[in-house]
């Protein structure tokens, strides 16, 4: 039933997701009137004034209400004028730290009254290179916005998937680190994956479109690039550098220095207001240096190891240069070829790379989990009686040792011994003896199990640790136990089945601990046993 419900839930989830995607991509004529106002390029006719990073043009005369222009800028601030009227401004924060504008999509409203008027774009910022006019589109403003979202939808979803995988890794480490000894490398990999996903998502520009805060997100991007270096380097050192290696101390110093530099840079930005443009350059330099060190560490490790581990390191040694190539392609296309997404290639590469790491890590995790399950099984075997499925003597002694001395007076010990078990075994065979043991254990468990733990501590002996159970209550339970045995009908019941019993509550005047109480209960049980051998079938519990 659960499996069917789960499948129905998954189907509904997929259908809901598909419906949302269809609604998202399907253009509604009332909102996105692309047929009457198509999206067209608006790059011709611009006049440059490079001395002041200013360009101007004349708008089409048939501008309609709801129209707009859109374009993407990198590290540039912007003012937009219609004739001499300022209609749009993208300026730095007044606190003086935001000297780098970051990347930003701009959507400029145009009303019908602007038809044929002069439009001026004034770019300024830290970029000292000659002005490169961005790719400008004109049309319905909402359609322009939707166009960007559609283009970046899949990259943004992929970024969210990376973040989700990272969260799963971190959560897995938190849950299983003590249970089965999962290494901290799982946490490091999870943090790196989360960081990669967040950086990738920011570079799609989708968060900026919905929540704004372009300056904040640009700085967060650089902070994450800085902060992620330490966990990923620590992960590599932990996985590939032997604690006995003579290079271990040197590598630890290098990794620690990365952490110190990161705190110094972040502190300088927060407290001394260093240029955010410099922050970005430092983050890029440190990440490149970190990648080089990681590559060298893996190369040294590759020369030392053999077998499957050598093959896995080889995969890293291949993937790292490929990732470097992807990052270079993205850097060139973003800064020199006009691309609006700074992680289009590296996002795919990172996803494949993290997928490889995830598969290998999951294999290791499953091996550790399997070992943990085997250990748990062995533990259960060590504490379990195979015939009755009760705890054994080891489990019983463990249970009484776990009770606090201050709580001893709330506990009593009950002893049980099966009479005539040898007769059952000799006359009817061991299967009959096993039947006698099993049926008796079930009756004892059924009557006394709610009050404590019952264990089989010997061949025909059972013992129970009972909490808050009086002698009178035990006497009633013992009477019921014998009555149930006497009512059994079967092939072996001509030989009488009966159970000797004894029960004593901890007495601080008589007992040093619960083991002493157990000895007194055992003595009581043997007195009952002697009387049962004289054909006295039921006796009250002896109270001393």
Res 62: pLDDT: 82
For 452-469, write each residue's pLDDT tens digit: 889 988 888 999 999 888
For 248-271, write each residue's pLDDT tens digit: 777 777 777 777 777 777 777 666
CA distance 461 to 516: 17
Written in H, E and C, the secondary structure of 79-142 is EEEECCEEEEEECCCCCCCCCCCCEEEEEEEECHHHCCCEEEEEEECCCCCCCCCCCCEEEEHH
Q: Is the pLDDT of residue 205 over 70?
A: yes
Residue of 97, 91, 105 lying closest to 148 (CA atoms): 105
Res 429: pLDDT: 79
Residue of 462, 478, 481, 467 lying closest to 391 (CA atoms): 462
Q: What are the two backbone dihedrals, phi and then psi, of residue 519, each rounded to the nearest 5 degrees?
A: -65, -40
Lowest mean pLDDT among 107-116, 339-348, 471-480, 523-532: 339-348
Spatial contact of 150 and 204, defined as CB atoms under 8 Å apart: no
Mean pLDDT across the chain? 75
Confidence of residue 368 (pLDDT cuts 50, 70, 90): low
pTM, whole model, 2 decimals?
Answer: 0.56
Q: Please indicate whether residue 1 or residue 433 has the higher confidence score (pLDDT).
A: 433
């Amino acid at each position: 039933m659960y499996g069917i419900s789960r499948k129905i839930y998954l189907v509904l989830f997929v259908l809901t997701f598909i419906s949302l995607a269809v609604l998202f991509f399907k253009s509604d004529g009332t909102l996105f009137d692309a047929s009457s106002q198509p999206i067209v390029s608006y790059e011709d006719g611009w006049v440059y004034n490079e001395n002041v990073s200013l360009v101007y043009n004349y708008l089409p005369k048939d501008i309609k209400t709801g129209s707009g222009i859109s374009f993407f800028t990198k590290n540039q601030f912007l003012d937009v004028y219609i004739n001499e009227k300022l209609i749009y401004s993208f300026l730095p924060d007044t606190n003086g730290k935001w000297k780098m504008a970051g990347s930003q999509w701009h959507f400029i409203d145009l009303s019908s009254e602007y038809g044929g008027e002069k439009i001026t774009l004034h770019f300024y910022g830290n970029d000292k290179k000659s002005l490169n006019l961005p790719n400008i589109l004109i049309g319905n403003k909402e359609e322009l916005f939707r166009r960007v979202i559609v283009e970046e939808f899949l990259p943004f979803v992929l970024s969210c998937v990376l973040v989700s995988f990272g969260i799963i890794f971190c959560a897995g480490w938190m849950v299983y680190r003590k249970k089965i000894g999962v290494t901290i490398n799982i946490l490091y990999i999870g943090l790196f994956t989360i960081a990669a996903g967040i950086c990738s998502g920011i570079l799609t520009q989708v968060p900026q479109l919905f929540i704004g805060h372009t300056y904040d997100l640009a700085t967060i991007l650089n902070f994450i690039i800085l902060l992620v270096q330490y966990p990923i380097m620590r992960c590599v050192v932990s996985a590939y550098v032997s604690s006995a290696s003579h290079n271990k101390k040197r590598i630890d110093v290098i990794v620690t220095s990365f952490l110190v530099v990161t705190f110094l840079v972040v502190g300088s930005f927060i407290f001394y207001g260093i240029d955010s443009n410099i922050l970005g350059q430092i983050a890029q330099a440190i990440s490149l240096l970190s990648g080089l060190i990681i590559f060298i560490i893996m190369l040294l490790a590759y020369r030392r190891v053999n077998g499957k581990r050598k093959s896995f390191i080889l995969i890293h040694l291949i993937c790292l240069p490929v990732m470097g190539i992807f990052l270079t392609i993205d850097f060139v296309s973003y800064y020199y070829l006009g691309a609006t997404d700074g992680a289009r290639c590296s996002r795919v590469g990172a996803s494949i790379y993290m997928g490889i790491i995830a598969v290998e890590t999951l294999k290791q995790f499953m091996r550790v989990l399997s070992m943990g399950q085997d250990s748990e099984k062995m533990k259960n075997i060590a504490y379990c009686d195979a015939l009755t499925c009760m705890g054994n003597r080891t489990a019983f002694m463990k249970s009484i040792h776990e009770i606090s001395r201050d709580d001893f007076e709330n506990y009593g010990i009950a002893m049980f011994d099966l009479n005539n078990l040898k007769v059952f075994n000799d006359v009817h065979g061991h299967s009959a003896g096993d039947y006698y043991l099993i049926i008796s254990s079930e009756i004892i468990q059924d009557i006394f199990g709610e009050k404590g733990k019952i264990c089989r501590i010997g061949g025909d002996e059972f013992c129970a640790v009972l909490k808050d159970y009086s002698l009178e209550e035990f006497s009633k339970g013992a009477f019921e136990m014998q009555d149930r045995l006497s009512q059994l009908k079967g092939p072996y019941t001509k030989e009488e089945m009966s159970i000797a019993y004894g029960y004593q509550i901890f007495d601080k005047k008589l007992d040093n601990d619960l083991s002493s109480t157990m000895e007194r209960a055992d003595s009581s049980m043997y007195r009952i046993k002697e009387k049962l051998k004289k054909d006295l079938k039921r006796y009250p519990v002896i109270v001393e």
